[in-house]
Structure 1
Amino acid sequence: MHDPTEESRWRPVFRVLHGIDDEIARFYAENGIPDLKPTWAMEIIRLHVRGPMTIAELARSVERTHSAMSQKVAAMRAAGWLETSPGPDARSKKVSLTPKAERIAAKLAAEWRATEASITELEAEIPYPLTRVADDIAAALARQSFHDRIAEKLARDPAWADG
């Protein structure tokens, strides 16, 4: 039996992106912040610049779902980067930075700028920048969603129909 997971068109893309995140994490560790995940930097910077927000406001500001942000806030809170307090209504929580996060927020903003400049430099070295790829993929998906593309293929696959 053939294992379809051995084939992945985008696995190399994810590998490159994860590798970049790993390099950023290594940079954090080398500079005394080993417990900070690169995927948390945007929220810390955003809260530092804009001040405390509800989970829903923070999720909207970084274009994430409320559910995903709620999980992320819980993880960042457990690691000591964020704190929560009751929000404006009984169902919401206000998120703010801890003193630990406040101490590094300006450094994270500097790292963000350096990372963006490095990405710009990297993209200048390659014939087809990833930002252009993302725009082109978004345009293609606007013509036909990924959901519809998958559904179209599965409609012709007997293994799907047998399930």
Structure 2
Amino acid sequence: MADTPAPDDPTQQSLWRPLRLLQAAMDADIARIYAERQIEGLKPSFVMELLRLHAQGPMTIAELAESVQRTHSALSQKVAAMRAAGWVETVVGEDARTRKVTLTGEARRVVDRLAAEWRATEAAVADLEAELPYPLSRVVTDIERALERKSFHDRIAERLSDDPAWE
């Protein structure tokens, strides 16, 4: 049967899948907010870059990537998607060899609303965290501290060294 998972399928167990699904559901709710305001074709994952470009002006992909703490490759792909969706364009930089990413007119028309949504989302997250006995932001900080003591790489490598299937 195609619907019956193999008994040795390790993907059936995932401690962090619920977190990924929760974030996806929350992003879907943000997207619904945009749709209710007729902001079509905007993904929640684009908003940080759009707000950063609005605040700091046109940037190269490398500058934007550094600004939002992403890799050049990841930002290059995101910029291509944002350009295809009509939110950014690339223009010639100070010299003819460089290209800068800049907001389109449509992005400039909605950027104040996006900033308002960002602030409202942050406030809603703060409200949620106030309801929890152990806020997610504290969990992240605690995980970062634990990873400073022993990296995720080292934790995985240690487990793999004990697994004969890894040989």
1:9 paired residue number: 15
1:95 paired residue number: 101
**Aligned residue among 134, 145, 158 for 2:140:** 134
Higher mean C-alpha deviation, range 133-142 or range 89-98: 89-98
Structure 1 residues 56 and 77, CA gap change in structure 2 (3 angstroms): same
Output the CA distance in 2 between the equivalents of 1:126 and 1:65. Answer: 33
**Aligned residue among 109, 112, 121 for 1:115:** 121
1:154 paired residue number: 160
Q: Once the 2 structures are TM-superposed, how far is the Cα of residue 89 of structure 1 from its aligned partner?
A: 5.7
Output the CA distance in 2 between the equivalents of 1:71 and 1:41. Answer: 15
**One-letter identity of the residue aligned with 1:80:** G
**Aligned residue among 39, 42, 52 for 2:45:** 39
SS in 1 for 2:100: strand
Q: Once the 2 structures are TM-superposed, how far is the Cα of residue 85 of structure 1 from its aligned partner?
A: 1.8
The CA deviation string for residues 13-60 of structure 1, in whole angstroms up to 9 with x for no partner, is 111111100000011011101310000001111111111011111111
CA RMSD of aligned residues (A): 1.2
Structure 2 spans left out of the alignment, 5+ residues: 1-6
The alignment of Structure 1 onto Structure 2 pairs a total of residues equal to 161
**What is the TM-score normalised by the length of structure 1?**
0.95
Output the CA distance in 2 between the equivalents of 1:33 and 1:109. Answer: 13
1:25-64 to 2 correspondences below 5 Å:
25-64=31-70
2:3 paired residue number: none
Output the CA distance in 1 between the equivalents of 2:94 and 2:153. Answer: 37
Structure 1 residues 69 and 89, CA gap change in structure 2 (3 angstroms): farther
Output the CA distance in 1 between the equivalents of 2:51 and 2:130. Answer: 27
**Corresponding position: 1:125 with 2:131:** yes
**What is the TM-score normalised by the length of structure 2?**
0.93
2:88 paired residue number: 82
- Taking only the aligned residue pairs, the percentage that are identical comes to 63
